[in-house]
Amino acid sequence: MTCAKVPGNIPTGSKTIDEYLGGGLPAESISLIYGEAETGKTTLAMQCAVNCAKRGRKTLFVDCDDTFSVERLTQITAKQFAETAEFIVLAKPRGFREQAAIIDHLTEYVTNNFALTIFDTFTSLYRLIVSESPPKTFELNRELNRQLAVLAQTAKINKIAVLITSQVHSVLDHVPVSVEPVATRVQKFWASAIIALRPTENPQIVEMSLEKNPRKLQTKTHLLRIDESGMHDCSSH
């Protein structure tokens, strides 16, 4: 596979993903990473922020799950924590309305030197409010769609990459299935790149496939390894 590198793309830490995406997460559009819990979504998102920092560009990391770990970032950055951390701005919305406010004011946050905005996990606050007020599901679905539309437009106008992560639940999780298909469909619709992560029998190995890539390349499944240093192609170890 030849890799036509596009300047401005943000490397993910997986050479395979980067090749499919023409050098990494594309600027000017939304990329989606989805998978079950513990499949490395947050790790991959952090690696993108770290690689963005290495290029001297800032990331707005919106930690909707409250799972951002400084310890994990320290592991991923190895000895360059201090230099990296100054390029990562962390936001912790406490509810779906606060998430909306961040999105609606994104152009004020992401001034010149920002190249990436991450929402990890994009639908966790949506799920929470839907479970609290089921009669509002229709209205909340529309709001989810609106947020993604605003994000897509902001990415394009401001030439920033937007990465959203999404958690899918296994049938064993017993979550209400009513919101799942809508949320998944809406996120996939707005994403120009879709990275799917699936667990394997080995908890350190994850199966990755590109469901959608801007280069429209034929894709197959690849294995990634999660370890202390982050998440990388199996073959590179």
Ligand X SMILES: Nc1ncnc2c1ncn2[C@@H]1O[C@H](COP(=O)(O)OP(=O)(O)O)[C@@H](O)[C@H]1O
Verify binding: residue 203, ligand X, rule CB under 6 A.
Answer: yes
Verify binding: residue 42, Mg ion, rule CB under 5 A.
Answer: yes
Please, what is the minimum distance in Å from the beta carbon of residue 47 to ligand X? 10
Residue by residue, DSSP assigns 142-203 as: HHHHHHHHHHHHHHHHHT-EEEEEEE---GGG---SSSHHHHHHHHHHHEEEEEEEEE-SST
User: Of the two residues 54 and 72, which places its CB atom closer to ligand X in the complex?
Assistant: 72
User: Of the two residues 56 and 203, which places its CB atom closer to ligand X in the complex?
Assistant: 203
CA–CA dist 1, 218 (Å, integer): 10
Residue 58 binds which entry of Mg ion, ligand X, none, with Cβ cut-offs from 5 to 8 Å by kind?
none
Piece of the chain touching ligand X by CB under 6 A; list 54-62, 139-147, 210-218, 221-229: 221-229
Helix (H), strand (E) counts: the chain: 9, 9
DSSP structural state of residue 226: E
Please, what is the minimum distance in Å from the beta carbon of residue 38 to Mg ion? 8
Verify binding: residue 74, ligand X, rule CB under 6 A.
Answer: no
Of 99, 180, 111, nearest to 146 (Cα)? 99
Verify binding: residue 173, ligand X, rule CB under 6 A.
Answer: no
Please, what is the minimum distance in Å from the beta carbon of residue 157 to ligand X? 29
Please, what is the minimum distance in Å from the beta carbon of residue 41 to Mg ion? 5
**First-last CA distance in the chain:** 20
User: Of the two residues 26 and 35, which places its CB atom closer to ligand X in the complex?
Assistant: 35
Our CA dihedral for 97, 190, 33, 82, rounded to 10 degrees, sits at -60
Residue 47 binds which entry of ligand X, Mg ion, none, with Cβ cut-offs from 5 to 8 Å by kind?
none
Element of type H or E holding 65: none
Both tokens of 122, joined, read 């994009």
Residues in the chain: 237
Verify binding: residue 201, ligand X, rule CB under 6 A.
Answer: no
Please list every residue from 7 through 36 that binds ligand X, using CB under 6 A. 35
Residues of this chain that interact with Mg ion (CB under 5 A) are 41-42
Q: Which residues bind ligand X (CB under 6 A)?
A: 35, 37-43, 72, 75, 203, 226-228
